[in-house]
Amino acid sequence: MRLGFLLAAMLLPTAACAATSFEGEQRDYILSRPHGWVELEIADEAVPMVPSSDEAPNDVVRPDSCDVEVRLDREPFAWTTVYPSGDRAPYIVESGLRFPAPVGPSLLSVDYSKCDVEAGKQSSTKAQLYIAVPESKVVEVYFDGSALAADPPREDSVVTLDDIYQAVAGRKKAER
């Protein structure tokens, strides 16, 4: 029973990540070399009503969804769709994603679209921040809908299947 609970606890975050896109070959390549992790937390508490269409700029509604594209040094790394919630404007987007990144300095760029209005049309917000990704550490980056900020790198606290095996069996898994 405990093993089932631990496996479910491990698989749920993995299932949540399935909503984001990251090319498998690119991810495998990065994971096979020295890498760290970037966690992007999106907390936009100021999502306005947007025109329902370009043809009806005065008919405003809550955005159905917002698109997020993340690049490191101009290379696409991750993209996802996030969903505003709330009963009335301003709406709120609370979401995030985690992806492996090559070790070293990079220019992190976020393109956040369809959750803002400019000149009566849905618009895009672009934000950039230089980050340094250390090996086997996590860089937490925060996006508030307009700007990026980062905390200093921290230890990676992800639980692996080997960690679960050791917790259940009371010993490390034998090497093959």
Record the pTM: 0.76
| Cβ pair 84, 91 in contact under 8 A | yes
In the numeric block, which tokens belong to residue 99? Answer: 């992806």
Q: Which fold, 23-157?
A: Immunoglobulin-like (2.60.40)
Q: How far apart are CA 115 and CA 90, in angstroms?
A: 11
130: confidence class by pLDDT, cuts 50, 70, 90: very high
In the chain, the amino acid numbered 45 is E
> What are 98's strand-pairing partners?
39
Q: What is the pLDDT of residue 175?
A: 64
DSSP reduced 3-state for 69: strand
Q: Which residues are CB-neighbours of 7 under 8 A, at least 6 positions away?
A: 164
In the numeric block, which tokens belong to residue 45? Answer: 């508490």
> What are 72's strand-pairing partners?
75, 108
Between 54 and 149, the higher pLDDT residue: 149
Per mean pLDDT, which range of 15-29, 81-95, 141-155 is the poorest?
15-29
| Res. 1: pLDDT tops 80 | no
In the numeric block, which tokens belong to residue 129? Answer: 């921040």
Residue that is written with structure tokens 């209005």 in the block: 117
Chain centroid to Cα 46, Å, comes to 19
| Cβ pair 93, 84 in contact under 8 A | yes
Which whole-number Å values give the CA distances from 161 to 11, 19, 99, 164, 176, in the listed order? 10, 22, 18, 5, 16
Q: How far apart are CA 113 and CA 19, in angstroms?
A: 17
56-108 residue pLDDT tens: 878 899 999 999 999 999 999 999 999 999 999 999 999 999 999 999 999 99
Q: What is the pLDDT of residue 61?
A: 92
